[in-house]
Amino acid sequence: MLKSLLSALVLATFSVNSLAVELKGHLTQGGLVTGKLSDAQSVSLNDTPLKLSKNGDFVFGFGRDAKTNHTLSWVDTNGKKHTQNLIITKRDYNIDKITGVAKKYVSPPKSVSERISREAVAVRNARAVNSDLTYFLDPVLKPAQGRISGVYGSQRYFNGEPRRAHFGLDIANKTGSPVYAPIGGTVVFAEPDLYYSGGTLILDHGHGITSTYIHLSKLDVNVGDKVKQGNKVAEIGATGRVTGPHLDWRFNWKGERLDPGLLMQDTLANKK
């Protein structure tokens, strides 16, 4: 059994070739990693099977508070198992104190509890898609113009009360500003009025990778629509739990929340 050890600095990109496996991405909390195997019949992360394309491509990611030690393993076409230990870096996150949030969004009345739970289940189900698409291999574009007003991972306080961490990248702009697909995909969720997130759109990019767009004022696509990179899919708004118009843009690998900012950094770096 082959074992090798990889480590990377926080927010540093890496590209490693180790025998038959090639990895590219960010070995850090919130990071997305793509891989390629030339002669494998299966691949797993921490004993959880990953989808492997016919060309040997696969993808995985690390959540905001992911542990630092992980194991990538694969079985080659001869039936031999290989393992590669991955060490990811921990990150420090901002404290984000937001005031002026409507009370009903900080402490929702019991009358909306069932609605909130129902909507949460619907979103989780949409993000559970595991299609054969491989758009996650493409460079990721910024989906809207505007000022970055919030970053991934921040511990949030609403009107002084602690709430869940922020899992997206906020782009502030006026209501009606266009939102574009950062990479190609299929629409798997499109709802104009969720309690917390308002207008909400989810795109499937393949192998468990989805992207989410919330607080939208308008949705231009429907479930089942195929979109290409750069297609207009929605418009920025101020719906749901907000204090002003902006796009909250998120990337996910199955149940793990990833940092869209890292993916944008990669695209900008490749253009230089």
CATH code of the domain in which 203 resides: 2.70.70.10
Q: Which of 87, 119, 146 is the C-terminal boundary of a domain?
A: 87
CATH of the domain at 35: 2.60.40
Q: From CA 181, how far away is CA 183, in angstroms rounded?
A: 5
| pLDDT at residue number 99 | 80
| pLDDT at residue number 15 | 40
Question: Mean pLDDT lowest for which of 58-62, 91-95, 185-189, 206-210?
Answer: 91-95
pLDDT at 3 > cutoff 70: no
Q: What is the pTM of this model?
A: 0.89
Q: Which of 87, 115, 149 is the C-terminal boundary of a domain?
A: 87
Q: Which amino acid is at 101?
A: V
pLDDT at 159 > cutoff 80: no
47 shares its domain with 123: no
| pLDDT at residue number 5 | 34
65 shares its domain with 197: no
Q: From CA 211, how far away is CA 203, in angstroms rounded?
A: 5
Residues 6+ apart with CB under 8 A from 1: 81, 82, 83
> Which structure tokens are listed for 261?
């900012």
How confident is residue 270, by pLDDT bands cut at 50, 70 and 90? low
| pLDDT at residue number 19 | 54
Q: Which amino acid is at 141?
A: L
Q: Which amino acid is at 26?
A: H
Q: From CA 165, how far away is CA 161, in angstroms rounded?
A: 12
100 shares its domain with 65: no
How confident is residue 165, by pLDDT bands cut at 50, 70 and 90? confident
Question: Mean pLDDT lowest for which of 31-35, 64-68, 91-95, 191-195?
Answer: 91-95
33 shares its domain with 136: no
pLDDT at 139 > cutoff 80: yes
28 shares its domain with 112: no
78 shares its domain with 114: no
Total domains, the chain: 2
pLDDT at 11 > cutoff 80: no
Q: Which of 87, 108, 124 is the C-terminal boundary of a domain?
A: 87
| pLDDT at residue number 6 | 40
pLDDT at 193 > cutoff 80: yes
143 shares its domain with 76: no
| pLDDT at residue number 14 | 38
Cβ atoms of 25 and 60 within 8 Å: the answer is no
Predicted confidence (pLDDT) per residue in 104-131, tens digit: 888 889 999 999 999 999 999 999 999 9
Task: Provide mean pLDDT across the span 229-238.
Answer: 98
| pLDDT at residue number 1 | 34
Q: Which amino acid is at 262?
A: L
| pLDDT at residue number 8 | 39
Predicted confidence (pLDDT) per residue in 194-211, tens digit: 999 999 999 999 999 999
Where helices occur in 18-58 by DSSP H, the ranges are: none
77: containing domain: 5-87
Name the percent of the chain lying above pLDDT 90: 73
110 shares its domain with 42: no
| pLDDT at residue number 7 | 38
SS (H, E, C) 231-244: CEEEEEECCCCCCC
165 shares its domain with 199: yes
| pLDDT at residue number 266 | 61
73 shares its domain with 166: no
20 shares its domain with 138: no
170 shares its domain with 199: yes
